[in-house]
Structures are given as structure tokens and as C-alpha cells.
Amino acid sequence: MAREELVAVGDAEIEVLRRGAGQPLLLLPGEDMLEADSAFVAGLAERFEVVLPSPPGFGRSTRPDWLSAPGDIAYLCLSLMERLALESVPVIGCSLGGWIAVEMAVRNAARCSRLVLIDPYGVKLGGPTTRDFVDIWQLSPEKVAALKWHDPEHGKRDTATLSDEQLGRMARNHESFARFSWEPYLHNPKLKHLLYRIGVPTLMLWGEQDGIASPDYGRGYAQLIPGATTTAIADAGHYPHLEQPEAVLRRVTEFLG
């Protein structure tokens, strides 16, 4: 069961995809927007109705000019959950979507029953001269792919087969990711001081071969969230749910109960 709609939230229109049927589950995608038709979402959809919004500026969602950071997006996503009557549901956030999920949880965790974070950005753990994340904007796409994926073949897309509309969306997704993550780079300086507010069970999953941010970063991140547990996913990079969907699904379903 696949459904799509545009939902008005404030002065934005948010693209919402739905997969499957059952208990609702909110999934916030990564910046490359590869989740909707993935084996990971198909597996979740066997048990849940997966509600998958495209963040503002991604997919078909509009991007009001006032939006400048994932914290701004968090308010729209919380309003979206209210519009869709999603209350006390599991929330899964992947990469950029994980950062947005954390920003949502520190503002209002009441709409989230359990939180799964998959290789999220969002906090800076090191000092001013310590690099928590690889600077992807200074590298070629090929080098970025080699850092993101344990097997870079998983990240390849045959752009020659894509329509002009699909190519335009890819470019827009990339531009929106830069807008929301460039300055400060991939983090909110205040966010780590607010993680104590996350009062729901939290699972942090991290690809063992993530070349963008190391598993040590993931463990340090999780230690700032009360009671959070961490699991490393073998043979996976920054998108373990896409490279090792069965392993991630097994751990997520065990956690969600």
C-alpha cells in the first residue's frame, strides 16, 4: 500500500509518503532520499504504516525562505505529526533525518514513543580544532561515495535513466542539504546541551565503516542521551539501513517490541 500526498503545515507544503499498514511509524529520511523504495522500508511496512515525510526543500516539499537549520524543520515536523494525529509513535531518523529527529525530541518528546537514530549528524563532540565529520564539500562525489558506503556500488545511480524532473530533485536535495548543514558544519552548537531532555527509550545504530563520522562519534553522541543504547552494524557505512537492511530491521524490531 503506497500513498502520497502534500500536507499544508504553516506556510510550507510537506510531501508525505505512506508505505504499508498497521501501527503508524514516522521515518525521517537521509539527505540522499533513498529510503522510500528501499528493502528497509519494505520490511518495516510489513508491520507498520511507515509515514515518510520529505523535509522542506527535499522531494516535492516546499522550502519557505525563513527555514535555515534542522531546528527550524523540527517545528514543522512536530506540527505535521499533530496534523496527521501521530502521537506516541516510534520515530526513526536516518543521517540528516536523525538530526531532525533529535531536534524534535528535545523540543517535544511526547509524540515519540521510542527513538531510533541511524548515523545522525547534529552535535559536535570535539574541540574547535577537532574534525567530527569529514568535509564532504571539498571532496569529489566518488570520494564521498567511498566514505558513505562500505560497498560504493550500493550508492551508484544510473542518472542516464532518470527524467529531467528526477535529476532536478536530486540537485535540489543536494542544495537543500548544503543550506541546512553548511554553517555551522553538520551540527547545532546548542544541541548537545539539550540532549538530557530526551526522555524516551533511544537506540543509536552506527555503520562500522562509516567514513563520514566514526563509530566512536556515534558512541559519544549516544552517551549524551539518557539511557540510550548503541549497536554497531557490520559491513556498513553511513547508511547501514540501506546496506544491511536485514540486520538493521532485526535490531529495530527487537527494540520496538
Task: Kindly report the CATH number assigned to the domain that includes residue 86.
Answer: 3.40.50.1820
Of the candidates 184, 26, 152, 143, the residue with the CA atom closest to the CA atom of residue 192: 184
Number of domains making up the chain: 1
Identify the pLDDT of residue 165.
Answer: 86
Identify the pLDDT of residue 1.
Answer: 62
Identify the pLDDT of residue 157.
Answer: 78
Identify the pLDDT of residue 154.
Answer: 83
**Residue 94: helix, strand or coil by DSSP?**
strand
User: CB of 20 within 8 A of CB of 50?
Assistant: yes
| Per-residue confidence in pLDDT tens, the chain, 257 aa | 678 999 999 999 999 999 999 999 999 999 999 999 999 999 999 999 999 999 999 999 999 999 999 999 999 999 999 999 999 999 999 999 999 999 999 999 889 999 999 999 999 998 888 889 999 999 998 899 999 999 988 877 778 888 888 889 899 999 999 999 999 999 999 999 999 999 999 999 999 999 999 999 999 999 999 999 999 999 999 999 999 999 999 999 999 98
Q: What pairing do the DSSP bridges indicate for beta strands 229-233 and 112-118?
A: unpaired
User: CB of 82 within 8 A of CB of 53?
Assistant: no
**Residue 50: helix, strand or coil by DSSP?**
strand
Range of the domain at 6: 2-256
Identify the pLDDT of residue 253.
Answer: 96
Compute the C-alpha angle 231/90/193, nearest 5°.
65
Cell representation of residue 76: 514543522
Identify the pLDDT of residue 67.
Answer: 95
Burial group, residue 109, by CB count within 10 angstroms (0-12, 13-18, 19+): middle
